[in-house]
Amino acid sequence: MEMAADPELGRRVRTGAFETNVHDLGAGRPVLFIHGSGPGVSAYANWRLVMPVMARTRRVLAPDMVGFGFTDRFPAGTGPERYNMDTWVGQAIDLLDALDIERADVVGNSFGGALSLALAIRAPERVRRLVLMGSVGVPFPITPGLDAVWGYEASFENMRRIMDWFAYDRGLVTDELAQLRYEASARPGFQEAFGAMFPAPRQRWVDAMASPEAAIRALAHETLIVHGREDQVIPLQASLTLSGWIPNSQLHVFGHCGHWTQIEHAARFAQLVGNFLDEADAREQGMRDAH
């Protein structure tokens, strides 16, 4: 019998000094999806329910960021001096360059939201529209949930415990899912890299991911901000702050939803993001027709 391919494996693309594992689906306007920073996370684990829906009308790109999933890692012993926003923003730009993509819509989840925000600030010409979901990127006191997630040490019990922080619907947090995520986190090299990224005290990594307030207020991109009302990992206040600072922003709060908006409300999330991006397509087409 032939073994089924691992769905977490996409194509490998050279980005600077290393290779990135990236899912590349569909055709049309490119949308770059950037995952969060949970233990054992990958682009596929984060976006598996959303990618096929969005790929019906768009080109979906979902990379594993350096240190996560099946992208190359820095050598053992490397810490936050290399796993940082400069590295991850550089990787995102290198990926767009390698795929000959001049400009993409960008959707970022949590840690990926902070990265997407930094990308739009540092390379505004590469980003068309921005979606920030349960996003880091502004200062806030670290939550017990985020402290527990970043402080994870690989065991089934620890994975089961931290997954309770993620979902509002505890029915989603099964032993089977916890076992799968634990096994993902315990793959060779995974926990070593993850453990090196966010050593205690962890408030400093929230602060390090924050973009300057003046730069956020100067952001010209139309931005959709999405948050789960019951999120225990990233406080709703972070998105309220972002919506107050980003001039061209709108905020959508999902009730009965934790940190997993794209999983707990997958169909609604995909529709919301799709409508937001379609509106931009229609407006740009109207401007072209007017000329």
Q: How far apart are CA 280 and CA 285, in angstroms?
A: 9
**Residues designated catalytic:** 110, 231, 259
Query: What is the Cβ-side half-sphere exposure of residue 35, based on CA atoms within 13 angstroms?
Result: 31
Q: Tally the residues of the chain.
A: 291
End-to-end CA distance of the chain: 59
Q: What is the DSSP letter of 39?
A: T
Q: How far apart are CA 65 and CA 37, in angstroms?
A: 9
Q: How far apart are CA 214 and CA 195, in angstroms?
A: 32
Q: How far apart are CA 100 and CA 216, in angstroms?
A: 27
Q: How far apart are CA 132 and CA 228, in angstroms?
A: 12
Q: How far apart are CA 56 and CA 24, in angstroms?
A: 12
- Kindly tell me the sign of the dihedral angle through the C-alpha atoms of 66, 68, 70, 72: positive
Residue located via tokens 């996370």: 41
